[in-house]
Each structure stands twice: as structure tokens, then as C-alpha cells.
Structure 1
């Protein structure tokens, strides 16, 4: 709080001085409050008026011109507030009496002292010295004035509240109205109401001073303030050479001129001369990006392999043994100063300079990755879009082991010989190949199958079992397996466990003589079950190191349960009352039962080892149990043979039936089956999914085209008409998308369309609707943003449908290759058309046919859209394959990434944009040169696309699908072609050709809207006849180009089919070739003759071929349904199912 702090004096002058200080301070505060309040009110009025205008324009769609007129009363309102609340208070004079009266009103305790001092000290008042009473008044007034709280007299809360409100309103306007305000400004400038720019130079030169890569083309564009018929000259010199002067080429309908330096090799100076005025002198500087010219690899392998280093010259992809060290030698263009190997996983390996532009770095092969070579020159410039290389470590796999003889369990007599042979392979050398065997569950014996010297990659060996040396009896069993050992892994690789079962000597002969007798040489069910349990124990032992603990425990419990079930079932059968009575009939029967009881004892011992997880220890009692079961089985078979001899094969009575029932005891096991995997949907559902996917692609393509047209509408001289057309097209596209959503409801109900896909489709519709509203308000920028978002949602939906439709990588790759080849062919056709238009312009002394240029421009715009879609398609394919672990798909991802990088390095998108700009301005020579560069870039990409097609193996079914798709594409071309000819002939006016797109068939993307030729007789003479003839020739040329494209598809079909099927397309090929050579007269103008000709020579053979291919494809799909994997390759999961088969024996009926 501030107050006057002056020592009092009884003189009137001192009292006046003290009071005046208080009055001046209050006056200043009073004025500041008035000005702050007035400024806040003025700003609030301006914000209110601006908000009203923006609401009228943005929400209600009021035209920009009307909004501009409405801004006049808003300006008057703001001006009035400014005058009333700012200017008038600033000019108003406030005297001392008014201030003193204000203070007295606020502080009644002063009792008019301050006002009295002011009045009595004014000039002409009674001198204070003449009145003693006044002296006391002045003294009292001075004392009270020093205690006045000046800071609280003037209340500024209202002014502060108004100021805060104005600031908040300004913030909200900037936050929510900036884009609408910018759109309004653009709309006003586009409609001619924009303010003229101040101090516009007479000419503008672009790019001015610029730095380009050596060999790169650089154009110079001059924009004049107004058009002129005079020449605009470019003066330039390369290096220290002489100055040269060339005229610049004018644009169509624009005051712009261009000159192109096709390949800048040296620094170039230039300036522009026009009407005796010259621009500043600019310089085109030249530099070289550092580039990788060669990569060399040297592999150094781990010491245990014994392999020498290996060199791979001129190669970037790294593939080698895990743990090996790879030295990468990089040869550069010579301008690089530093470099690094940049890994996709995030690592960065600096390169060591070797001199002469060579660098070196080392990579240790551990995990799969990708790398690029980053180079930096002395000016910190990096090599743009470097190529990506794969890093593929190959694990040192365990030896590959196979038992080649006998490859199964065998049953032999006690004097036979059994040969066991095995073969082992290892990439880096074998150490040992051994045979291990055990007789009747006894101790294992080991012997070498081959004497290994050095590090052989493959070893074969065998051993001959002379069974008579082991003094075996019927029922004895030899269990054996083979192991192989290499130099890297600590544990050997084990084969499966096999059995050699000894049977009675004469059993084989009796079996031959008594075919069909009970037993038939087959082992009993108990024997088979015990053999399965042993095999399951062995397989679980082999896989224990690689199984998770939880899974191992689960399999172990299943194995224990299986052994316990078999033991319990044998005990229950033996202990039944019927067997107890019948087994007293003979000694042999009692011996069989003794063997079975001994088997259960061994099974109990095996359970004691299995339950704590001692699998290797459990194998011995399991084998002994098997030995007892085999002996019981052998005694039973001998007894059956003897009974058959005595009774002529008539059976053995009740005891024999009981024994057969016992020996054929078999558990009811819930086995894992190799079940047929039913496809998610049938052919009709697949076709529905394909159709939906094709419609989504078409919608995305059209949305891309609309977005580009919106971008061009901003630059149009009359954007109003363009925006109205765009609004209609966007509304039509949105309605078609909504219709597609309704059509896809059945897919959503069937579960074939995910919720994410449904949401993507709905978001695309919402974005289209918002783009419509933005176009209605004239907000082209907002509309472009919404259109881009709708296009992104359609792309996302397209990828989801590809996954839902089970489109394989091969199918996606084939579709990408077809789309690319189609785009490349269309670019070549456009190049020929540009060249023809350029030749015609030169023949006309540089005069350009505007209609022809506009047609070329429409084709260029359509191809630009197709290139954008193709790039997004490549990015989607690269993203999908990058996420899969398969090596083939990783190779596709890397190749696709390099293709995208190649598009970036060639600056293909910019070249297409420059070509479009050149056609807009009528610079046909510049457009022709750019088209050569575009076609060259497309040709370079074509070789990479062909390499891409070989990345994945192609199955017969995939080849058949591709061939069928080509046939249908060819038929669609022929149908559209014939329909166009029929409509031309039916209308009787070749100039009124109905495009296939208006009849439900899409326009070829490379074809412009056809002109209206007057080709019939009796047409208007003069220029109209010439235009009609030119349009007719253009229409005929278009049809010939379509025939050439059909021929290319047909040639690809002949190569795919080959043989008789390919030869059957001969009439189709001849008909298309004749059509390609024909002009617009003749057969195509006769509807009946044309229909008969095409039906006989083209459509009928293609229809028959399509039917045959479709029938073959249906047959393949039916075979897959009926036979499943029995007609296909066994998937990797099957091995695990087989291994776990016997380990889950207890999952059945107990």
C-alpha cells in the first residue's frame, strides 16, 4: 500500500503539494483502468465478430464472398467500441476537483478536507496567511492526505476480468478457428477478393542458388508478374567456360518459362534476362554423394570346425555358421570420410578406414538381422537410401542320423542273422558312430559301426548280429539304437529304439501253412503296448533337454499312467475266477501265467523309476517286462500251433479262448490323430472374400485419385467449380463404401470379418463424410486431410482382408508383380504418346495441341495414383513378410525393402510429379525427357520384381490359381473390348463410345476420357471433321493397345500352360494379333460379325480353358478336404505328434 509520506508544514503551498501527489496518483490509476477496460472490450468485440463470421462460413456453409460482406458491420462495431471505450477516455481531461471529489466519495471520513484544500489553493483564492483558521485546515488536510490508501481507491477488478476474458477468447479462436480462418483466406484469394501482394517483383527465378548431385538434371523456372510475347533469355556458363544465351520455353496459359540442364557435371552460373532487366546471378553447385561400389566378405569359422577362412567377393548378404566372424570390406566412391554398419536390431559397428576409399568392419553371427552401410563425407552428407543386406546365421545342427537297415522291429528265430546299418551326416565333421544294444533288459553293450579318421561329413556303417552266438530262446528280445557324435555338441544324437524279437524256430513255417489262424504271426496286444511304452520312454528321454519342465512333467505322468494301466489290466485278467479254474488244465498254461506275473513285477519296478523321473533307469525293468511278455506270447503261439495240428485248425476250446483274450489285451488309448484341417470357408466364401478385397482396392484407388484432385483444386484458377465436382465425387464414393459395408454384413455374421475390419470400414466412411463437409465449406486443406485418413483406413482394411482371406505371400507377390507389369506397360504407352505429341508440336513450329496435352495429363495423373497404390502395396507386403520367421519370407521382405529403396534412390515419385507439372505447362520436350527417366527407372525395378518372383517356391495349386486369374483377366479385357465395339456400332456414332466403366467394368487406368470424334459420314466439315478423324484414330489406337496388353497376358499363359494346353490358345493368339493390327473400321463396326468372330476364335476357347482350370482347382480343393495331409507334405508339427503319441497312452478308457 502506497501513501504520501511527507513531513507536514502549515504553509498552504506544502499542503497543496501533499494533496496534489495523491490526486495525480489517483488520476493515473483511473486512466489506466479505463484504457485497459476499453482495450479488453474492443478485443472482445473483435473476437465475437470474427467467431460469428467463422461460424457462418464453417458451420452453415455461407460463401466466402458473403462472409466478406458481413465483415463490414463487424468492423464498424469494433470501431465504435474502440472510439467509445479507448479513444474517448484517452482524450478526456480530468481536473483536480473531479479527482478530489472522487476521493471524498470513496473516503467520507475526510469530511471535504481534500476538496477544500484544492479550492482554496487555486489561483485567485484567499491567501492562507490572511486567515489563521485556514492554516489549521491546511495542516489537518496534509496530515490526513498522508494516510490515504491510494492503491485501493481505484477498483480494477472489472478491468482485469474483461482482460482475462479477452485473452481466453483469443486463445480459443487460435485453437479452434485457425484452420477455418486459413481456409477462408484461401477461398477469398481464389475468388479474386484477396489483397494484392505488395512489392511483387517483376520476375521470380527458381531455384536460385542450389546444390545438386553430380549428373543430376536441374531445371530453372522463371515466373513473370504478367504475360508477355517477348523472349525470356537464360544466360549461363559451366565452370570457367564462356557465357551462353538460350531462350526459355513458355508454359501453356501461364507466365512461366523453363530451361533444363540435363546433367550437371560442373558448377554452373546463370541469370535470366527479360526486357533489358537481368536477375541476380545464381550458382548451381555440384557434389557427389558417397556411395558403396562393392562389398567383399571374409568368413572366419570357430576353431572346432577345422574349416579355413572363406572369401565371398562382391556380395552383401551374409550367411554362415553361427559364431563365425565376418569381415565386411566396403569399397566406396572415394568421397566418404567415415562409415558404419547399421543393424536393424539397433547395433552400430564403426568402419575402420583402410585408405583409397576402402573401409572394414566385423560382424559376429549370432541372431538373424539386416544391415545397411552408412557413409558420411567431409560435409556430413550421408549416402541416401542405402541398400539393405540380410544377416542369416546358420546353427550348427546336430548330426543327421538314420538307421537304414532294417528300419523296423523284426521277429526272427534264434539262429538267424540280423544286419543293422546306419548312416550319419554332419556339416562340419563327425566324431563317432556307435551301436548300443541290450539283451532282455540287461547291461548295454557298445561297438563302433565305422572307424572314423579326420572330419568326414558323412559316415556309413553296419553290424551283423549272429543270434546263435547269444544262445537266445523264444521270447528273448534285443533292444538296440544308434548314436552319432560331432565335434560341437556335448551329447550324441540318438536314433529310435528298435527290437529284435526271437520266435520259435518252426513258427514261420506253421504260419505259412496255416494262414488265417488265430495269432497269424502277430504279437499280442500286451506285447505291443509294452513296446509302445518303451518307445515312449526312450523318446521322452531323448527330448528331455528341449522340453519345458511343465510339459515334461505332464508327459511323464501320462507315461506312468500308461504303464500302471497295462499292469493293472493284466493282473485283473489273471486274477479272475474263470482263469483260475481253467489254468489248472495244463503245465504250459501255468508257465504262461508265470511269465505274465513276472512281467507285472518288472512293471512295478519300472513304475518305481518312472515316477521320480529316472527314465534311463526305467528302461531296464521295462525291457525285462517285455521279455517276459514275449516269452508268454511265444508259449501261447506254440501251444496254438500244436492244437491246430491235432484238431485241424478247429480251435482250442474255452481255455484257448481265454488265453487268446488275455494275450490280445490292448488298452483303449486316445491316440493323437493326424486330422484333416477343414478350411475356414468353401470356394463360395473365398470368392466373396476376393470380391470384397477387389472392391476395397478399387475404393482406395478412387479415394487416392480424389485426394490428388483436391490438391490440384487449390492451384486452379477457378476452384469453385472444381470443388463442387469433387464434392459430388466424394459423396458418390462414400455411398458406394456404405453399400459395400451392407454387402459385407454376411461376412461379419459368419465371423469372417473381424471387428477390427468392421471398425476400419466405419472409420473410412466417417472420414469420407467429414471430407464432404469440408468440401461443402470450401475447406480444401481439411478435405485433403480427411481423404488421406480415409485412404489409410481403406489400406488397413485391405491388409486385414488379405489375412482373413488367407491370401498367401505367393499370391500377394504375384499380384504385386502383375500390377507392376501393368503399370510399366502403361508407362511405356504414355511415353510413346508423349513422344508423338512432341513430334507433332515440332512439326507445328512449337504450337502444342491443348486437348492432346490435357489427355496426356489425365493419363499421367491416373498413373501417378497407380504408382502411389503400388508403393503402399509394396510397403504392406514388406511389413507382413518381415514379421514371419520363415527364411524365404525374410528374403522376400529384404528384397521388397530394397525395391522400395530403389524407388527412393531413383526419385521416381518426384520424376512423376515433375512430369505432371511439365504436361500442365505444355513443356512436351521436358516431359519427354522425364518420361525416358521414368521408364528407365521402371525397367531397373522390373529386374528386381522378376527376382522377387523367384524368392518363394510355387506349388502346383498356386501356379494353377495364377493361370486361372490370368485367363479371367484376359476374358475381362476381351469382354470390355467387344462391349465397346458393340456400343459404337449400335449407337451408329463412333464418337459416342460408352466407356466400359459406365457399364460396370472399370476403365483401364492408363486411358483418358476419349474425345468425341465425328467419324460417321455426313459429319460437320472443316475442323470438326479433322477432330473426328483424329479422335477416331485415337480410339482405334487405344483398342490396339488393349489388344497388345491382351497378347502379353496370353503369351504369359502359353508359357505357364505349355504342351497341348498352351497350343490350344493358338486361335486366340491369331485373333488378337489381327485385331491389334486392325484400325477402327471393319469387323469391329459390325456387331453381329464381331460377336460371331470373337465367340468362335477368342471367347469360346478361353471359356473352355477357364472351365478346365476351375474344375482342376476344385478337384485339388476337394482332395485336400477328403484326404487332408495324406496328399500333402507332412508339416513339422507332425513329428511332435508322433513323438507324443505313445507318451499319452493313459488318456483313454481306464
Structure 2
């Protein structure tokens, strides 16, 4: 039965109906789902609108979206059940198909009924056969392959397009609504995401600009919130710990008025989530997360330097910037570091320039300051310091901090002589002070002076300083040459030592200071060579000027007292006038004291050994004047006692003025005027000496250039030698030019009292100009500079010969000058001629050439230990003061610094070489010592010249 054709036909119809029923159920479920899409989209939009109004919490939004999704899932399950289990039966499906397709009519229903009859066992077989045959015939008329197509939903495509359109619009809706729409959709799609609710106030944290900004532990940061839309009056910044259960901090924000709110988070110690809210919390910003860098960082540092105990310096603390530190060797350095985090055990590594590194623990500071650490280090040598900091969690700092270390050494003391300041001559009768000055950076322990006379070493002058010792100290002692047993010709030497207070002491020693002892007679000879009458006159003028000043003040006092006496005769004095009387009395007493000082100075001057013979007469005058001053002062004090009346005081003051004025005039006539005349004469004598010294220098130049007379090809050494001589030749020419002017000027000053000497000086000045001696010198200098050996010698020799013609005139000038000087002394001063002219001739006080130049010796050197061209100072004599006479004579051009600044000392016997001008001459002197030195110097010069010129010639090709 089952394999008969009729059965197969029936089976195919039933199978086609079942397949059509499955297709119908599936399409019915699909249409249901497609039609529900718009309702689900509308429900989601309604939820978003409700959330925009109500600002649902995250859990509420999660519940709603889960409900929405659950309904969608339920609907889907319903559709699945419909598709799988709610299929129509065969007869129902046949009716549905017959309704959808009119061509079928009722064929499918008839087939099913006939099929039931054919399968009904209660009917007669013939009836079943006929029913079966009818089914077969009806089946042939039905196309079963089209039944599944007819079962499909007729509006499926339409519903699909509508659902797709709704889905596309739903997907495009966030894009069309912009950021607010996207944010609102995301609030349901990610309920617990960072999606602020929709609001008319739009808040955004603009600083920090991105999430995860790392903040150093413990530091502060600035938070800025920008506002768009409705501008709120206040904003609150919430800072919630990301880790841990700490409470959230709410910080009010301040507005800048341009839609920007600002707040500062202080002392950030853990990661935070930042949110900006309005006060009603209806509007909020997206979250911003801050990360915290937990590695320790050094925020500040100090160092305490404790110097070694021997320095006596207290410890001192100062900020440490890791740019380098300097400390004395042996100092203890205590470093105190402050970190942003609680610190644990770290290490300070000192890496010296030489040797192995030294590690010192960097321990947390005891007490509550957990962010501080200490390390102590005693320094011994320079290097670098490395600070390895760790927090309490053993986290190391990201960057290792280091600094340079410079260890300074304790320097030796500095030591110098304050007096005497240079090697000097010293008069045997002189008492002088020797003083040394020492300084040390931390303290002095011992100072001493070690004297010796020749080979005899004397006991040191020593001082040990107690305690730490001063940083600066002077040691002085008064020395008497007689106590040392020094005699003229002895060399007294001193040197000094200073020791500091360092545990490893340092000693400093000065160079040797040498003093050559000379007699009073040698001193006078020395002084005559180094000075002139104008300088000697300065001391006399200073005394006379002091007397003149006192006379003027006495006159003023006498006038005021006279006015006061006149007022007392007319009426009783007022209190103010009585007070003025007391003041005048005190002024008179002060003036009398000063007059006594002037008298004492005159007496001391009178006791000095004269440099020139004519000074004996001047000393007598000074002695007489001093006695008259003393007598006048005593008479004044007797006449005007403190109880005297104004008239008595006025009379005593007037009488004293008359006496002093008479004494003053005597000094002007008998001391100042003769000194002025003699100084003028002395200038002429020095000018003649100067010309003779220039002649000797020119003679030396002529002799030294003779070597090049026949030499045409000069070596480089020869040319160098000629260039050096050119400088000396130029100096001779300049000196001749200046000497011509000096002779004229000095002749004018001396003409009144010494007419013959003045005329001789004028004749010599005219001869210098007529024969153009300066021009000849300059021409010779130019030839030497050009390296013209033959011309240099001939021109130098020509100038020497021209100068030689006037040596006789110099002699006649000296002869006439001596006779006029002797006559002047007898007539003007009542003094015997003596050796005055020869004493004046000894003066070498004129400037010429460079100090110690070739061929030019230093005039007047006395000590055999002094090199040529070098001058020593002098201790133990009289001071040379430039007065009006000296300034008048030196006022013209060409003084060449022979006199100092007006009113200052020209020579001070206890001063330095800088206080005295250097003088030079090659003129032979009358003292054996100076003559020997000059000859020795000339020999040295000639030997140097021969070595310089011959060595190159011998090696020349």
C-alpha cells in the first residue's frame, strides 16, 4: 500500500501542506517581530526622554534597559514558539491556502476529505477505492510545489522595509542629535559608564586635559572647568578616591567670570576621580582621573657645615640646592633632606677624586617629621655626592640627585713687613720701629721676628697668641741700633715667621729685610746727593708757615677781644658776651699751646746736623726765634689770667701779636728769603751738573756705536742693540731740549743775586739752541732705529763733540757761581763761605733716563750690596718737605717729577722708595763708594754690550 502510486500522491499533498504550514508559521512570527521594532524603538526613545527629565540613577537606567531588553527577548521567544510550535493543521492550512489562491478552489479541502474516507476502515472497500481514486485524480490537478510560496506572508517585504527604515533612523538619531543625543543613548547602553545626563548647563573639565595625568605625591594641582550653555552661579568639584574607602572631597570652585571655574586640589596622596557638579547636582561633567606618582622626590634640602674645632667657627646651616658645596677639610656636613613622601633608609655615596667611594646611611629623622632624612659626612677630599633616596615602601626616586663637593685646604698665613717697607740705609743713632702684619684664614698661633747683625744672630722677638688666635695680628718692636751693637758698615737683617693654628701647622716666612748702618756724616753726604736746597728749605718754610698762621689767628683774637673790651667799658656784658669771653680765653690758651709746639719744632730743627754749611746760621736764627716765642707766650699767660678783665685780655693779645709779627718778619727776612735765593742758585748748579751728565751719557753712546762704524750688514742682535741705544739717544735729546728751557727759567730766577752765573746759564742755553743739539740727538736716534750703523756712530760722535765744546763754559759758570755764592753768603747772611758750593755741586737731584737703564747709573748709591740703577731708602734722618720755594721752582715745564704733589713730603726718611723720586746720573762723585759703584756699573754695561754684539757676529755666515 505504501508504495502504490495513489499513496505516493496523497503523501506528496500532505507533505506540501506541512511544509506550507511551517513556512506560514515562520513568516507569521517574523512579521510579528518586524512590526514590534518600531514599538521597541519608541520605547527606547521614551526612556531617553524620561531620563533627560528625571535624570535616572545608573541602577534605574540599568533596570529599565534590562526590562526593555527582556521584553524584546520575550517577544523573540514568542516568535520562536510561533514559528516552531504554532503551525496550522492540514485542513486549516488548506483553507488558508485556498483563501490566498482562488485557483485552488476547494481542491485541497476535498483531497483531505477524500483522503479521510480512503483511510476509514468502516466504509466499504469499494467506497474507499473510489475515494482513493478521487484523491489521485484531484492531486494531479494541484501543483504542490507552489503551496509553500502561497503560504508565505504577503506583507513580509513591506514590514521588513518598514522595520529596516525604523532601525536606520534609530541608528542615525544619535548622529542627528549630536553630542547630547549620543550621550543620552550611551546612558542606557552603558548605564554605569561616564555619561553625564542631558542638561542646559554643559560642564567640561578642561584642565587636566586628559585622563591619567600623573601628579607627584603630595603636590597640588589646578583644576579648571569650562561651562557652556546656562552659566551657573556656583560649581562644586568632587574628588573621589579611586582606591580605598576614603570619603569624597567637595571643593567649591571660584569663577573667573568668563565661563571658567577654578579650584586647587592640595596635597594629593592617592589616585582621584574628579567630577564637576552644580550645587543641585542636575548638571555634571565627565569624570577626569588623576594618577599619583609614588616615587619619592626631594623637595628641599639643607646642609649644616660644622668646621673643625681649631677654627673656632660655629656650625651654620644653609639651604642646599645641589649646585655644589665647599667646605674646609675635616668639616662635618649634616644633610637634611625633605621629601614629598615618608622616607625609609637611603644612602649617601661620596665618590672622591681618588680612592674608593664612601657610603653613609641616609636615615629618617627621628620624631614626627617622617618626610625628613639625615646623613652626616666628614669631608677629606673633593668629589661628588650622590643621594639615593627611598620611601618607606622601599621605592627609589626616579632621578638620582647629585652634587659636587669641593674640599678647601687651610692655607698658610700671609705675612709682610709694615716697617721697614724696604731695604734701607739707617743712621747709627736712629731708633726705629719694626712691625710685621700677619693674617690667616682661621687663626694665628705664633709670630716672631728674627734679627741678626752680620753673622751674629740675635734672640728672636716672639709672640704666642692664646686660644684659637686672631685671624689678623701685628707684631711690633722698637729697635735701638746701639742695643744691637750695630756699627756703621754693619748689615742688620730681619726676617719674620708666622705659624697658624692648624693641627698640621703651616709656616710662612718673609724675605730678608736688610738695613745698612751708616754714620751721620755718610747720611749728610747721601742727603746732599738725593736732595737740593729747595727740598731742604721745605722744613724751614713749614715752621715759618705755622708761625704765620699763628700770627694771623692772634690778630683775629686781638680784634675780637678789643671789641669785647669796648663793650665792657660802655655797659655790663650780657651772658652771651661773657660766654664769648670764656671762648676767647680758651682759644688763646689753645693758640699758646700751638705756639709752644712751633717753638719746639724750631728748637728740634736747630739741633739737627746741617746738610749745608749755611744752615748753621739758619739754625741760630731758629733758636733765637724759638726763644722769643717762648718768652712771648709766657708773658701773655702772665698778663691775661682767667680772671683778667676784657680790657686786660685785649691788651695782652695785642701785645703778643706785635711781638709775634716782629718775630715773623725776622724769619721771613733772615730765613725764607735767603733760602729762596740759594735755591735759585742751586738750580743753576744742578743744570750744569745735568749737562755734564748728559755729555757723559752721549760719550758712552758714541763709544758703543763705534762697533758698527765699518759694519754694513748688521745682524739681528746688532739691530736690537741699536734700537735700545736709540731709546737712550732719544732721552738725551729730550733732556737737552728740557735743559735749554730750565737754564733760561732758572737764570731769570737767580739773576738778581747771581748775575754772572745767570748770564753763563743763558749763554749755555743759547748755545744748545743755536747748535741744535736736541735736533742732532733726534737725528742720531732715527739712524739707530733704522739700523744704520755708520750714520749712527758718526751722528752720535758729532753730538758728543758739539757738547764737548761747552764744557769750558760749564767750568766758568761754576767758577763765577762759586764766587757769587760766597759773596752772597757774607753779605746777606753774614756767613762764611765754607764748603757750600761744593756741597751744592754734590746734588744729583735731576731726572734723566730710565731707572737702571744701560749706561746710566743711579746717582749716590752708597751701599756696596746695592745693584747699579737701584736705590735704597733711608731711615733715621730728616724729612724733606716741598714748600712754596720748591713749588715755585718746579712750576715750569720739565720738572720731571722731581717734586711731589704740592704740600706733600718730597722725601721721608722713614718712607718707602715710592715716596722718593728716583734720580740717576753717571757723573763722578766725590765719595769713594759711589765712584766705585759707578765704575762697576759701567764695566757691566760694556761687558753686556760686547756679549750682545759679538756672539751673533761670530755665528753669522
TM-score, L = length of structure 1: 0.24
- TM-score, length basis structure 2: 0.28
Higher normalized strand content (fraction of residues): 2
